[in-house]
């Protein structure tokens, strides 16, 4: 039912977009459409709403920012395509699925790439590392404008708790639609079942899959904790979400407008990050009330199985090597800072 409603809604939006493109806009404002697949009260959406307020405060006579949460414009794979063609202006996309649009993003899908949230944040905030990556996808029709925290990904299951990689044997686990994630599951011994985020709840409920992997908010905001009662902190990935914009739209902004947009992107990331920390704490409490049991397995056992993927990916995609090395340097630097107190 939900899916049919979404399809109808998407149809209306797309025809609206066509009408706009033909110049029949009522108030002569240019609509900026931003898609995302999270609930309206999710930190990501809160960040986007702060952007809407900021842009409309500064450029409200020209732009009307409209945000479409809850996969209203389709799954992330669809909304990246809509952003590439310019049918919409921006979408939030998990780094996981971006790798099939531009393989530079493969690097952030590597399991156990970062050894701490501090390293993850420092790398993602480092414009020297990130700017060239964000800009390098212009040939793919989009440019990344900021990143959003999506925490740490862990396995969660309906019936069988995951205490070691062996427990994944033979289990059907939903992964994001990315070759790296499929390969990661293969190395861990589970059966990877790729699908869009919005399909996961029903798939869990109907027993199509035995579990999935995500941050804690999936249990509460997406209600997966209603079905999955075991959440296992194996910490296999910190996969960022990336806000991407249509290349043509961004390059047509005047320098002054671009400056304002850049400020707006910073506001998204700041607002989202502040909301994120609190949201994870609340989600854990809520999940416990839903009778989800949190498990703390030996992480090293999982690491051992998937680390060969680093070499495999770097050999197949050598342009990732300098980025990978810089990430290691940041880790080393952090370690030295810690040991110097």
Minimum Å distance from CB 218 to ligand GCU?
6
- Size of the residue set binding ligand GCU (CB under 6 A): 9
Q: Site mask, ligand GCU, residues 93-122, x = CB under 6 A? A: -x----------------------------
Residues 6+ apart with CB under 8 A from 178: 96, 97, 99, 100, 109, 194
210 interacts with ligand GCU by CB under 6 A: no
Note whether 241 binds ligand GCU by CB under 6 A: yes
What would the two tokens of residue 4 be?
A: 């049919």
Nearer to ligand GCU, 94 or 246 (CB): 94
| 170-199 footprint of ligand GCU as x/- string (CB under 6 A) | ------x--------------------x--
Which of 189/196 has CB closer to ligand GCU? 196
Give yes or no for residue 154 binding ligand GCU (CB under 6 A): no
Nearer to ligand GCU, 82 or 314 (CB): 82
Closest distance to ligand GCU from the beta carbon of 302 (Å) = 18
Instruction: Report helix angle 117-125 to 321-339, nearest 10.
Output: 120
Comparing C-alpha atoms, which of 165, 292, 270 is closest to residue 222? Answer: 292
139 touches 178 (CB < 8 A): no
Among 76, 91, 119, 269, binds ligand GCU (CB under 6 A): 76
Q: Is 251 exposed, middle or buried (0-12, 13-18, 19+ CB in 10 A)?
A: exposed
Residues with Cβ within 8 Å of 147's Cβ and at least 6 positions away in sequence, in order, are: 124, 130, 240, 241, 242, 243, 269
Whether the Cβ atoms of residue 38 and residue 221 lie closer than 8 Å to each other = yes
Is 269 a binder of ligand GCU (CB under 6 A)? no
Is residue 232 at the binding interface for ligand GCU, with CB under 6 A as the rule? no
Cβ proximity to ligand GCU: between 89 and 272 the closer is: 272
**Coil, strand or helix at 28:** coil
Residue of 109, 137, 214, 237 interacting with ligand GCU (CB under 6 A): 214
Least distance to ligand GCU from the beta carbon of 166, Å? 24
| Span 14-53, contacts to ligand GCU by CB under 6 A | 37
Q: Distance between CA atoms of 313 and 197, rounded to whole angstroms? A: 25
Q: Does 71 bind ligand GCU (CB under 6 A)?
A: no
Q: Are 95 and 40 in contact (CB under 8 A)?
A: no
CA distances from 70 to 204, 250, 278, 331 (A): 18, 25, 21, 35
Residues that bind ligand GCU (CB under 6 A): 37, 76, 94, 150, 176, 197, 214, 218, 241
């Amino acid at each position: 039912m939900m899916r049919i409603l979404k399809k109808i809604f998407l149809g209306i939006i797309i025809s609206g977009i066509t009408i706009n493109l033909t110049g029949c806009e009522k108030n002569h404002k240019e609509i900026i459409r931003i898609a995302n697949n999270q609930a309206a009260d999710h930190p990501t959406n809160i960040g986007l709403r702060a952007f809407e307020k900021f842009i409309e405060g500064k450029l409200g006579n020209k732009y009307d920012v409209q945000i479409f949460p809850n996969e209203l414009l389709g799954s992330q794979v669809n909304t990246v395509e809509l952003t590439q063609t310019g049918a919409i202006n921006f979408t939030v996309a998990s780094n996981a699925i971006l790798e099939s649009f531009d393989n530079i993003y493969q690097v952030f899908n590597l399991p156990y790439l970062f050894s701490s949230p501090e390293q993850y944040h420092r790398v993602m905030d480092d414009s020297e590392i990130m700017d060239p990556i964000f800009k390098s996808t212009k040939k793919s029709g989009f440019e990344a404008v900021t990143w959003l925290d999506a925490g740490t990904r862990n396995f969660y299951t309906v019936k069988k708790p995951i205490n070691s990689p062996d427990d994944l044997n033979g289990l059907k686990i939903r992964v994001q639609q990315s070759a790296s994630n499929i390969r990661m599951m293969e190395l861990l011994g589970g059966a990877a079942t790729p699908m869009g985020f919005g399909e996961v709840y029903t798939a869990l409920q109907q027993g199509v899959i035995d579990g999935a992997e995500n941050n804690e908010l999936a249990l509460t905001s997406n209600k997966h904790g209603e079905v999955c009662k075991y959440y296992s902190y194996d910490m296999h990935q910190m996969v960022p979400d990336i806000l991407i914009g249509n290349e043509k739209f961004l390059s047509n902004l005047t320098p002054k407008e671009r400056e304002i947009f850049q400020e707006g992107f910073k506001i998204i990331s700041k607002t989202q990050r502040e909301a994120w920390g609190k949201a994870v704490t609340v989600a854990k409490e809520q999940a416990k009330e839903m009778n989800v049991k949190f498990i703390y397995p030996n992480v090293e056992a999982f690491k051992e199985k998937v680390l060969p993927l680093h070499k495999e990916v770097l050999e197949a995609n050598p342009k990732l090597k300098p980025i990978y090395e810089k990430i290691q340097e940041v880790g080393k630097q952090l370690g030295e800072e810690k040991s110097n107190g």
